[in-house]
Amino acid sequence: MKKTHCKLGKNRVKWTPPEPDILKVNIDGAFLESDKSGAWGYIVRTSDGEAVLARSCRLSSVYDTLCAEMYACLHALSACSERGMVKIHIESDCSNLVSAMTKSTFDMSLAGVLFQYARLFISLNFISVEFKYCHRSAHECAHELARYGLSRDPDLDCVWSNLHSVFVTNLVTHEVGYRVNE
């Protein structure tokens, strides 16, 4: 498993931009053990840190955290494919998800069919997809989007394709917090 290139600064890991011809997709899932529900969120950004798509949704039923993370991944892959985004890096703070997508280790787990489906989907729809682990502080936007999804009605997602919304702009500004092209 490759570790992402995150920069340390003041005890925090910061979001770092992808190469100019790659889009970075940060994904996150949330899980509530008490009622086996959860949420997911993702954000897609360019090499200059500009958000091009963000989305979150509540899941009325989900088995565990790994499944919630996988739903974030599947929805992000589908949205990127629909928009012709064929070179992406997907970052998650879930090392099990990164392992599941880069190896067949988790194929016999409860979510195994989802991992197999995602790898097939990637092979049919993308030129390049790289999965990377990154510390949670390096993708706070996705974490906050998943958290926001918990407050939504189940299975009613919220899509931000006009990314001039105050909510998404504030998330990105707070997370990047510096000029990414310095």
CATH number of the domain to which 46 belongs: 3.30.420.10
Sequence-distant (≥ 6) Cβ neighbours of residue 70 within 8 angstroms: 29, 97, 100, 111, 114, 115, 118
Q: Please, are residues 167 and 160 in contact by the beta-carbon 8 Å criterion?
A: yes
Domain ranges, residue 89: 20-176
Of the listed ranges 27-36, 125-134, 150-159, 166-175, the one predicted with least confidence:
166-175
Q: How many separate domains does the chain show?
A: 1
* Position 181 in a domain: no
pLDDT of amino acid 145: 87
Q: Does 63 have pLDDT greater than 60? A: yes
Q: Which residue has the higher pLDDT, 9 or 72?
A: 72
Q: What DSSP state is assigned to residue 135?
A: -
CA distance linking residue 8 with residue 89, whole number of Å: 20
User: Which is nearest to 140 in space by CA: 2, 74, 11, 43?
Assistant: 43
Tens-place pLDDT, residues 79-131: 999 999 999 999 999 999 999 999 998 999 888 999 999 999 999 999 999 99
* Position 9 in a domain: no
Distances (CA, A) of 2 to 45, 51, 58, 134, 158: 20, 24, 30, 10, 31
* Position 94 in a domain: yes
pTM of the model: 0.83
What is the overall mean pLDDT for the chain?
83
CA distance linking residue 53 with residue 147, whole number of Å: 17
* Position 51 in a domain: yes
pLDDT of amino acid 149: 84
CA distance linking residue 23 with residue 48, whole number of Å: 10
* 14, two tokens: 């910061």
Q: Which residue has the higher pLDDT, 107 or 176?
A: 107
* Position 12 in a domain: no
CA distance linking residue 147 with residue 126, whole number of Å: 29
* Position 182 in a domain: no
Tens-place pLDDT, residues 129-163: 999 999 887 878 888 888 888 887 766 666 656 55
* Position 109 in a domain: yes
* Position 155 in a domain: yes
Q: Does 170 have pLDDT greater than 70? A: no
Q: Percentage of residues in the chain with pLDDT exceeding 70?
A: 77
Q: Does 46 have pLDDT greater than 90? A: yes
